[in-house]
Structure 1
Amino acid sequence: MPEYSGSLIDHLNVAVPDLDRSVAFYSLALAPLDIVTLLQVPADPAADQLRMHAFGQHPKPFFWLVEQGRVGTNMHLAFTAQDRASVDAFYAAALEAGATSQVAPAEHPEYQPDYYGAFVLDPDGISLEAVCHRAP
């Protein structure tokens, strides 16, 4: 079996009721993880295209916000952090941007050895996490 080399998920679309508010929040919260705006897609009613905003790391967008009016329930999204300091920075930036704390940055050996994560709720109630799997 080949060695695991990263995520097998290519991208994720998340429906949000207020795209501009969500873009403002995620722009601040994801900056410590080096995840930035890469693409904006305008609405096109003739093509049944909704307005979208894509974040990622150049050149690959992988996290898309789609203006759809409501958010799914019981959603959780974890972003990979390069180190524990980035997890801490994500948590601080997300709270500053308007998130609600769920779990402050901490080790979680119940998930995996060296699992270090922080959990917040975004302004729409989506559970977000930044996680590092490296030893301190």
Structure 2
Amino acid sequence: MFDHVKFGVSDYAASKAFFAQALAPLGVAVGGEGEPNYGVELCGRQDASLCLYQATERPVPLHIAFVAETRAEVDAFYAAALAAGAQDNGPPGLRPRYHPNYYAAFVIGPDGHNLEAVCHRAEPA
């Protein structure tokens, strides 16, 4: 549905470092960058990208869910995000209220954003 999503952050350098570290286990890396008021594009395995730029006002917290190919990637995202300074908002695990194979982890990142990594696949036999 989306090609890219762009939102402002209160501390560009810190947010860029945080998102690059936290999303690396999901195959995300810096794809391009301009001046802080233009921002950075973080690209993953799919066509969509996440773009961050230096905001002049405090951003409103968002909920952003990132695709994980495996449950191990969800676990790695959670560990990397915590190591990058995120706060726990729900450890890796099944969330059967969404569907039987909804495996996700949640953290609160810079600016209070609720970040999630989710794998919809069943555990391999």
Common fold by TM > 0.5:
yes
Q: Secondary structure at the match of 1:63?
A: strand
Structure 1 pair 67/61, CA: closer, same or farther in 2 (3 Å)? farther
* Higher Rg of the two aligned structures: 1
Match of 1:39, as an amino acid? G
- Would you identify which runs of 4 or more consecutive aligned residues in structure 1 move more than 2 Å? 57-61
Q: Are 1:79 and 2:72 counterparts?
A: no
Quote how far apart the aligned CAs of 1:86 are: 0.1
What CA distance in whole angstroms lies between the structure 1 residues aligned with 2:45 and 2:115? 22
Q: Once the two structures are aligned, what percentage of the paired residues are identical?
A: 43
Structure 1 pair 123/81, CA: closer, same or farther in 2 (3 Å)? same
Unaligned runs of 5+ in 1: 1-7, 44-49
Q: Secondary structure at the match of 1:130?
A: strand
- State TM-score, norm by structure 2: 0.91
Structure 1 pair 71/88, CA: closer, same or farther in 2 (3 Å)? same
Task: Write out aligned runs for 1:1-136 (5 A).
Answer: 8-42=1-35, 50-57=37-44, 60=47, 62-69=49-56, 70-73=58-61, 75-136=62-123
RMSD: 1.6
Unaligned runs of 5+ in 2: none
What CA distance in whole angstroms lies between the structure 1 residues aligned with 2:16 and 2:8? 12
Q: Secondary structure at the match of 2:89?
A: strand
